Structure 1
């Protein structure tokens, strides 16, 4: 008897002729996530993936729980398609995890219809064997403390009693590439995580205004990307020098439009980086009505400067929901570190919440040669590859 990790996927199973593409991408992402561990072998068999390994199972499971496309994983015993072997494997499972007291049931999925026993027969035979060879155990088919799961597959039977949830979604890379405006706050990392959950390979774009913002603020963003990379693999991060542009905005534009024009500049730069990197869409952490730049009027005026789609995964979420998700995925404690990003400097006392496009464009014209400033920022952007911890 050997042990493997049984991997279940959800939405992928609904795919048609291109299902194999999603399965192979998921297998590749699993191999990448486990690449530095010993004896990793990933295989596929009729709606299930299996991970063989020579490591501590908990270490492997912790990584698999972060791979998008997986809905749950279970450490499983592998036994031959033989009733005696199945009986003994199930008994071993009970003795290891349930010990000697409590209630249990046996639940069988017979994917291999050639196996001579039906599911209900397997449940009965295996359950009787467990009762005969243990003390103080009782069968409870309605609310058991412990369930012995048996899957009868093409070549082997798999026995397990524990399942660990994973994020679900689609394998990263299956739906394309997208840029992510990442500020260092709570929202944008969550937006990036949600984009990755839908199969997007993200490229981070961060605006850095030294000396108004410290080196530590940049390191904070790198750490956030490192957390996200733990879910979807290495992330390309562009750190864009933004000091000169912000200074020109402050010097030449009406105060009430500082934030609006700053965001328009960010979008222009981000679009150029996206097109350069093969990203077809831009993701942001914007949330409707949260701040002045996130009213419907502001969003429309800001987005007006780009041609690529701008997607906002958090647009209808409450702040409490975003914070809860940030805590769940492990970015919250980093995001709340007290290092300001460029969005928190030069903030006007009374920002425009319903800016008019004509007025904003006229205000922008006061920044002489702003197109050159945009090109300069793109050219001087620092690029780095961020890997998981």
Structure 2
């Protein structure tokens, strides 16, 4: 990494220009193949179907009544809420409608009202991530409160508990994900009550209040306190775990970009992202996030087009000499665990990871 840092400032500006032109050429090919066209039929079926499925599940919840069988309903709701969150993610990236206003309101309804996640909080955080994935000081997704994904974060002084957790984070990674659901809801509530610019603050505050208070009231009206608490624990735990395992393989274990390093758009998005190889069932299960490279290059590309775009983009990257990473689902989790375990144990060279061969590629970019 020292070699990369020492040459970061010396990188010629025309190299960035050449990189920009290569992306422009790729973007033209994507547009010519119609891969940025809206898929209204696909999305309207989901926008109508998702609330109906959720309403049906809640009616079944009321019908079943106060019984431990409701834990199966909790599992179903965790899956439904995650799938709705994926749909809200698509709307937030302008994949559904041409109108930004329509996409915003769909995101507010799906995210705040149905799932209980603040759209404003998520958009601010996610936009920064997309602009500079895995870049120190720029990507909030590598600045996590418990898990350390960079040597810089791991080296900071923390309390005994956090230090212990990070020293064992490779083993504890998946168990910690069960708390992600609570974290997402808490961060959303904190954001709407925090000072600072937040569009439609009162809309978000109203939607989140209706969702969270209404949901808790329904659960405790139908279930006795003991079953209700277990029900909420299962639903929130599985929701957080599902969200975590869908997002974790995308960038964790990929190269960390030094603060001073400048990469062109194509390389910045492709080299720091990882695709997950699989069939259409995996596409549905991961909400299209398994095509992370295509999504980062073209955030507004409708989800159904990602599978079609992947082979073309992979071939183009090979022609340009840009590393295009694609692995199986379980292999991706193994990479993530090995990487964060190294960081937690004090590994100083963040480029010495399961994808260390990419270090040479990044070094070549700065010469």
TM-score (norm 1): 0.21
Q: Select the structure with the greater relative contact order (CA < 8 A; seq sep ≥ 6).
A: 2
The structure with more strand, counted as a fraction of residues: 1
The structure with more helix, counted as a fraction of residues: 2
